[in-house]
Structure 1
């Protein structure tokens, strides 16, 4: 069995039932998602891709905030995509949001959506769930059009929070195959340099989370 198939099976196993309560429970600790959406600011009529779109919660909010944008999302979990498609239909956004099943570390956007590059690409709390997250980050950057941006938000290291809190959080996250990426800033900086772009990166909520943007020329 391939690693992609294994990852898909793991994610489907986690979310087969959890997908029904995912958005209700995660809103309390996936902090910074709305901050990311607010900074996307795509050009008029622009395109936006989410890598690891889950239930489409972010795509739907993004569609409402930027009514002229066309949105796309991919996820490795067929179970999560069931919820995504249902939520998109419930919000009457089928004409503006398309989702597809794909591995974040090796997707072909042209084959999935008939579109290879996007004005904005974002990863919201998905890299911490992808074992080969560096490849997923690089793949996401490759999908950014010239002059576009890659946005990322994910767990920090809780450096400015009580030690007991960070330890407890990481132990709880591990139950769901989630691992905060302490090298996220360095990886994004290297990626920005290799692609001739610039990086803005910062901790938020006392390093509960970290948020960054790579801007390509």
Structure 2
């Protein structure tokens, strides 16, 4: 991941805002309780955590990512935003991390996955791990199967995403329901994105 993001991290946010759709909608739905905690799994450049911190000024935020290159950008962005006292960042594997050792907390009021599962080879393990540290609600958004968009668009998007080692997870909804039958799953933007929400 460091090899992939060594250069991309410098322009990642500028380009991704045009096709990582629904992230701000997800953040608006978090409904973080006053003084609550939020963990983002696969936090990348820190863009989402900064947005969450601004929307929920009493929240304490945590982020982990496997790429130290991305975390270098995230730490710089958090510092520029004046949020170093509220956002803690650590390098870790999304599929196997010790939240208590990393952050001093075993569970979090909100756990967030934003366009990360399509890049994690063992995405099922990452979801199990995220669910295990969810004390309130788990929220996710990622690429869908483009099922209600023109066929040429879906084929083109999947081919293009493959160039960046991104694979929309066709079995996502079925896995979420197997993980917990109360998972609320829905397509967005005619299947461009899929979202899921689990409330404890």
* Structure-2-length-normalised TM-score: 0.99
Does the residue aligned with 1:206 lie in a helix, a strand or coil?
Answer: helix
User: What are the Cα deviations for residues 30-52 of structure 1, in whole angstroms up to 9, with x where unaligned?
Assistant: 00111110110011100000000
The equivalent of 1:159 in structure 2 is 147
Equivalent pairs, count: 200
Q: Which runs of 4+ in 1 moved over 6 A?
A: none
The equivalent of 2:11 in structure 1 is 21
User: What are the Cα deviations for residues 37-77 of structure 1, in whole angstroms up to 9, with x where unaligned?
Assistant: 01100111000000000000000000000000000000000
Cα distance in 1 for partners of 2:112, 2:81 equals 21
Return the match for 2:186 from 187, 192, 202: 202
- Asked if 1:82 corresponds to 2:66, the answer is no
User: What are the Cα deviations for residues 106-157 of structure 1, in whole angstroms up to 9, with x where unaligned?
Assistant: 0111111111100000100000000000000000000111xx0000100000
The equivalent of 2:22 in structure 1 is 32
Query: Structure 1: which 5+ runs fail to align?
Result: 1-10
- Asked if 1:108 corresponds to 2:92, the answer is no
Cα distance in 2 for partners of 1:186, 1:42 equals 27
1:188 shift after superposition: 1.1
- Asked if 1:65 corresponds to 2:55, the answer is yes
Q: How does 1:39-188 map to 2 (within 5 A)?
A: 39-145=29-135, 148-188=136-176
The equivalent of 2:180 in structure 1 is 192
Cα distance in 2 for partners of 1:190, 1:46 equals 28
Query: Structure 2: which 5+ runs fail to align?
Result: none
Does the residue aligned with 2:44 lie in a helix, a strand or coil?
Answer: coil
For the Cα contact (< 8 Å) 1:109–1:117, is it kept in 2? Answer: yes
User: What are the Cα deviations for residues 75-99 of structure 1, in whole angstroms up to 9, with x where unaligned?
Assistant: 0000000000000000000000001
The equivalent of 2:196 in structure 1 is 212
The equivalent of 1:3 in structure 2 is none
Does the residue aligned with 2:25 lie in a helix, a strand or coil?
Answer: helix
* Structure-1-length-normalised TM-score: 0.91
